[in-house]
Amino acid sequence: MSTPLPQLDDINGIPTVCRLLRTKHAFGTFAEGDFDPWQTGESTTAVFWCLKTMDPCGPDDDFAHAKSCRPGRECFRSDDE
């Protein structure tokens, strides 16, 4: 599995991930100053899934994860698509 290089959102420096990627951590609450964006993929407890397949793997049979569901992946979908 090759990991695409991260592209950062111009506004806040958060990595760009596929719009079909989901994780429960995306809807969590955090104490002030204790925020690590879920898009970085740094959580050791996050579970990711793809909305297209509704599985932990994307349409290309590779794992759905914030570090791999980024621009350059064959099945990546941006917010514009």
Domain locations in the chain?
Answer: 21-26+45-81
Q: Looking at residue 35, what is its pLDDT?
A: 67
Q: Which residues contact 27 (CB under 8 A, 6 or more apart)?
A: none
Task: State residue 18's pLDDT score.
Answer: 97
Distance CA 63, CA 74 (A): 13
Q: How confident is the model at residue 64 (pLDDT cuts 50, 70, 90)?
A: very high
Q: Report the SS3 class of residue 27.
A: helix
Euclidean distance between CA atoms 8 and 13, whole angstroms: 5
Average pLDDT over residues 29-35: 59
CA 52 to chain centre: 14
